[in-house]
């Protein structure tokens, strides 16, 4: 491909968009914080093969353009649009200087055009003179005729032959000049490709993109906003690194063993609870589930369920790790603080780390457990309870 070909984009934004019923031109309505026009222009401003952009705007907007139109690194010219779309495109075409080899025309009402569609259209135009992005029709198309006030089917068009035109539409300078000359002589078309056809040029079809929708009605606008909101959510969900927090506390009572992190610790009292009351395992389990946004320990292992009575909490942790693995994550590391006035945890810390490494599926070097007193304050400080805080980091596997 000869990239010394000078490619200029025309954004047709001259229409008033009356079908949306808004007080301002539809291209100036916002979707997720950016106007439809800004999104359309940005697609071309960020495309490496486009060297210049000409935007045809409603005359009242062209004299007082939105500030974003002045902030691109490549030249952006603004021209007042005409009555018909083809008039706007003709004015934009005249404003291109120096002349372009290939002109890519895009409808501002299609803010989701992707770089691949732009590339396919440009390449086919360089090769064949004119090309438009289009989608094969998913629906059967009926040709209709008015008959006594009712629409009736005149014919069914073979679906394989029906393509629905999108933009961009790209033309070599000669082809677009011929199409616009035909328009100036009274010819009209809903797009430049129609004029090019009428001028006797071959117009190629290249695959468009199903997301490259035209925003025409309030329903389209609603759909576009919903899609972007969903994608913003997805992006956050798809983040490569996730963090979760967990907390648990249990009372210390006579006659129970003290188990922390799956390790039995000799002590006069132990933690009270439905299961083995291993607060360290419980806090880490909640941190792991939290990082995966998979709920909490009570949801997966309710203490009303007899299956979990006196359950080994290390096994609950193993189950939680399995759940986040199924959701596509791997544990990266875990850190925990055990708040206990007694006993001193230090002698058991390494054994606990080794014990937890197995259900977590990581090296003991990525498991951290720290003991802390509460300086005599509150229930933990009086030795009546043990509390644990934990964080877990997950990575997408
Ligand atoms: Mg608990």
What is the helix (H) or strand (E) element at residue 338, kind and residue range? strand 329-339
Question: Where in the sequence is the domain holding 381, given as residue range(s)?
Answer: 240-396
> In whole angstroms, how far apart are CA 229 and each of 28, 109, 198, 236?
19, 19, 42, 11
Whether residue 337 sits in one domain with residue 274: yes
- Note whether residue 354 is domain-resident: yes
Whether residue 77 sits in one domain with residue 29: yes
> How close is the Cα of 248 to the center of ligand 1, in Å?
5
> In whole angstroms, how far apart are CA 303 and each of 235, 246, 283?
35, 17, 15
CA angle, 100 as apex, 98 and 104 as ends, to 5°? 140
Q: What's the distance, CA 189 to chain centroid?
A: 36
Whether residue 310 sits in one domain with residue 226: no
| Cis bond upstream, residue 273 (ω within 30) | no
> How close is the Cα of 205 to the center of ligand 1, in Å?
63
Output the pLDDT for position 23.
67
Whether residue 122 sits in one domain with residue 86: yes
| Structural domain total, the chain | 2
> How close is the Cα of 307 to the center of ligand 1, in Å?
15
- Token readout for 132 is 């438009």
Output the pLDDT for position 327.
82
State which of 218, 236, 254 marks the end of a domain.
236
Whether residue 230 sits in one domain with residue 134: yes
Answer for the pair 164, 154: CB distance below 8 angstroms, yes or no: no
Residue indicated by tokens 């030795």: 383
What is the helix (H) or strand (E) element at residue 31, kind and residue range? strand 30-31
Answer for the pair 334, 291: CB distance below 8 angstroms, yes or no: no
Neighbours of 181 (CB within 10 A): 13
Whether residue 178 sits in one domain with residue 258: no
> How close is the Cα of 240 to the center of ligand 1, in Å?
29
Domain containing 125 — which CATH number? Answer: 3.90.550.10
Whether residue 387 sits in one domain with residue 297: yes
- Note whether residue 355 is domain-resident: yes
State which of 180, 212, 236 marks the end of a domain.
236
- Note whether residue 258 is domain-resident: yes
Which residues lie closer than 8 Å to 60 by C-beta, 6 or more apart? none
- Note whether residue 2 is domain-resident: no
Residue 310's Cβ-count burial label (10 Å; 0-12, 13-18, 19+) is: exposed
Strand 7-12 and strand 102-107: pairing?
parallel
Q: What's the distance, CA 183 to chain centroid?
A: 41
- Token readout for 329 is 């994550």
- Note whether residue 350 is domain-resident: yes
Sequence-separated contacts (24+) of 264-271 with Cβ below 8 Å: 265/343, 265/345, 265/348, 266/343, 267/342, 267/343, 269/383, 271/386
Beta strand segments in 185-240, E? 204-207
- Token readout for 209 is 């993109």
What is the helix (H) or strand (E) element at residue 249, kind and residue range? strand 241-254
DSSP 8-state assignment for residue 68: G
- Note whether residue 284 is domain-resident: yes
> How close is the Cα of 330 to the center of ligand 1, in Å?
23
- Note whether residue 1 is domain-resident: no
From first to last of its 397 residues, the chain has per-residue pLDDT tens of 455 899 999 999 987 655 566 667 888 888 888 899 999 999 999 998 999 999 999 998 899 898 888 888 899 999 999 888 889 999 999 999 899 999 999 999 999 999 999 999 999 999 999 999 999 999 999 999 998 899 999 999 998 899 999 999 999 999 999 999 998 888 777 789 999 999 999 999 999 999 999 998 889 989 888 888 877 776 666 678 999 999 999 999 999 999 999 999 999 999 998 889 999 999 999 999 999 999 999 988 888 888 877 789 999 999 999 999 888 889 999 999 999 999 999 999 999 999 999 999 999 999 999 999 999 999 999 999 999 999 999 998 7
Domain containing 250 — which CATH number? Answer: 3.30.1330.50
> How close is the Cα of 155 to the center of ligand 1, in Å?
71
Helix then strand count (H, E) for the chain reads 12, 18
Query: Per the confidence metrics, is the pTM higher than 0.85?
Result: no
Strand 241-254 and strand 269-271: pairing?
antiparallel
> How close is the Cα of 241 to the center of ligand 1, in Å?
26
> How close is the Cα of 332 to the center of ligand 1, in Å?
23
Strand partners, 392: 244, 334
Which residues lie closer than 8 Å to 231 by C-beta, 6 or more apart? none
The DSSP code sequence of 358-379 is HHHTS-GGGEEEEEE--TT-HH
Whether residue 81 sits in one domain with residue 68: yes
- Note whether residue 223 is domain-resident: yes
Output the pLDDT for position 83.
86
Whether residue 379 sits in one domain with residue 287: yes
Output the pLDDT for position 307.
80
Whether residue 172 sits in one domain with residue 263: no
Whether residue 232 sits in one domain with residue 257: no
Q: What does the alpha-carbon distance between residue 138 and residue 132 come to, in Å, rounded to a whole number?
A: 18
Whether residue 253 sits in one domain with residue 231: no
> How close is the Cα of 282 to the center of ligand 1, in Å?
5
- Token readout for 339 is 């708040």
State which of 236, 258, 277 marks the end of a domain.
236
> How close is the Cα of 340 to the center of ligand 1, in Å?
15
Residue indicated by tokens 């070909």: 5
């Amino acid at each position: 491909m000869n990239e010394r070909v000078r490619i200029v984009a025309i954004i047709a934004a001259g229409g008033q968009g009356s079908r949306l019923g808004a007080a301002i031109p539809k291209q100036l309505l916002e979707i997720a914080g950016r106007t439809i026009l800004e999104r359309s222009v940005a697609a071309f401003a960020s495309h490496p093969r486009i060297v210049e952009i000409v935007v045809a705007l409603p005359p009242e907007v062209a004299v007082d353009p939105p500030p974003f139109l002045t902030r691109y690194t490549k030249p952006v010219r603004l021209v007042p649009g005409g009555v018909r779309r083809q008039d706007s495109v003709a004015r934009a075409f005249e404003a291109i200087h120096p002349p372009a080899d290939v002109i890519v025309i895009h409808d501002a009402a299609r803010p989701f055009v992707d770089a691949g569609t732009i590339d396919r259209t440009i390449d086919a135009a360089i090769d064949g003179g004119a090309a438009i992005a289009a989608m094969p029709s998913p629906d059967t198309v009926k040709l209709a005729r008015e008959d006594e006030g009712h629409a009736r089917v005149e014919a069914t068009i073979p679906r394989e032959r029906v393509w629905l035109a999108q933009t961009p539409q790209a033309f070599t300078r000669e082809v677009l000049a011929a199409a616009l000359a035909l328009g100036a002589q009274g010819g009209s078309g809903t797009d430049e490709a129609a004029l090019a056809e009428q001028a006797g040029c071959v117009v190629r079809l290249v695959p468009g993109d199903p997301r490259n929708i035209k925003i025409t009605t309030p329903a389209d606008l609603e759909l576009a906003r919903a899609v972007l909101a969903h994608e913003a959510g997805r992006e956050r969900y798809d983040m490569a690194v996730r963090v979760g927090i967990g907390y648990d506390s249990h009372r210390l009572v006579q006659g129970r063993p003290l188990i922390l992190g799956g390790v039995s610790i000799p002590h006069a009292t132990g933690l009270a609870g439905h299961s083995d009351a291993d607060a360290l395992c419980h806090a880490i389990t909640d941190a792991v589930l939290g990082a995966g946004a998979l709920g909490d320990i009570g949801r997966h292992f309710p203490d009303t369920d007899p299956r979990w009575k006196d359950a080994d909490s290390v096994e609950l942790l193993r189950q939680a790790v399995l759940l986040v693995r199924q959701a596509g994550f791997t544990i990266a590391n875990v850190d925990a603080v055990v708040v206990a006035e007694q006993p001193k945890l230090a002698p058991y810390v390494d054994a606990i780390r080794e014990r937890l490494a197995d259900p977590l599926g990581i090296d003991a070097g990525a498991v951290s457990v720290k003991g802390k007193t509460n300086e005599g304050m509150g229930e933990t400080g009086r030795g009546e309870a043990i509390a644990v805080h934990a964080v877990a980091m997950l990575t997408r596997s």
